[in-house]
Amino acid sequence: MFSGAMTALVTPMRDGQIDEAALEALVEWQIGEGIDALVPCGTTGESATLTHEEHGKVIRRVVKAARKRVPVIAGAGSNSTAEAVALSKDAKEAGADALLQITPYYNRPTQEGLYLHFRAIAEAVPLPLVLYNVPARTGCDLLPETIARLAELPSVVAVKEAHGTVQRTQQIIARTGDRLAILSGEDAINYPLYAVGARGCISVVSNVAPRLVAEGWDAHAAGDSARARKLHYDALPLAEALFSEASPIPAKTALGLMGKMSPELRLPHHPMSEAPKQKLRAVMQQLGLVK
């Protein structure tokens, strides 16, 4: 159902509030640069520090700005199943086309608990689900065997895989075939994952360089492996710079340098340290993103 280059959107903020004008402008720019789907209110969108009211506001604004030109896959996960169901229902009412569901963080459920968590959401909210596995952030790993079980649920259509290895994506595809779309959640290995069967990415880098990420996927999809590989290596220094501090600190810093939005963050995130910021600026200059 979902494929291509998708952006895990940052949430623009100004003076402690959601900057709705900057958010709408960001959506318009992303679509104009060739991005295939938008993913608001994920980790990159600082979902952990958004109120429930803000969460709904961001999704509604993105849906409105997108105007059905690309799908909106709304982050609606939680480490509480009941809260994830409530957020998912709100996202559906806001007009989201699908839901991004992170594994429950901190409470470290068993594989059976993970299965029951996602099944409960699938049964409660009739929207396509994209499972999101990022063990480095959550302390919880959704194993290939559990993903294969979840693939039997009709509404589970994709996995954002941020385990960080090519082997894990191969293990999932070996068990699920073409029943699920595997989407890279790790920009530094986007192209290697495409090469073993991933159908796209949910990218942080594309916040800052959407055309570069979109053209990399498009080249792969068109069978031009040489160009896809080149574009991946072109993007790799930016991927490294954008994860030199906790995401989305560098991504918001970069967008601030580009004049797209204020680089404002919410605690416990804080402004980027000066040395990595200057390295980020240098990479952006090399790519022509800033002067």
The reported pLDDT for the residue numbered 209 is 98
Tell me which residue of 111, 21, 118, 123 sits closest to 76, measured CA to CA.
Answer: 118
Q: List pLDDT tens digits, range 182-218.
A: 999 999 999 999 999 999 999 999 999 999 999 999 9
Asked if 49 and 265 count as a contact pair (C-beta separation under 8 A), the reply is no
Strand 13-14 and strand 17-18: the pairing is antiparallel
**Rounded Cα gap, residues 118 and 52, in angstroms:** 20
The reported pLDDT for the residue numbered 1 is 73
The separation between CA 89 and the C-alpha centre of its own chain, rounded to angstroms, equals 20
What separation, in Å, do the N-terminal and C-terminal C-alpha atoms of the chain show?
A: 39
**Rounded Cα gap, residues 85 and 127, in angstroms:** 11
Asked if 180 and 157 count as a contact pair (C-beta separation under 8 A), the reply is yes
Catalytic residues: 132, 160
Taking residues 169-191, report their average pLDDT: 97
The reported pLDDT for the residue numbered 151 is 98
Tokens of 222: 């068109």
The reported pLDDT for the residue numbered 91 is 98
pLDDT band at 83 (very low <50, low <70, confident <90, very high): very high
Taking residues 104-115, report their average pLDDT: 96
Tell me which residue of 102, 17, 95 sits closest to 62, measured CA to CA.
Answer: 95
Tokens of 120: 């409960």
The separation between CA 284 and the C-alpha centre of its own chain, rounded to angstroms, equals 21
**Rounded Cα gap, residues 252 and 271, in angstroms:** 9
Q: Looking at the domain 4-222, which fold is it?
A: TIM Barrel (3.20.20)
The reported pLDDT for the residue numbered 80 is 97
Taking residues 25-42, report their average pLDDT: 98
Q: Phi first, then psi: what are they for 8, rounded to 5°?
A: -80, 90
Per-domain residue ranges for the chain?
4-222
The reported pLDDT for the residue numbered 4 is 98
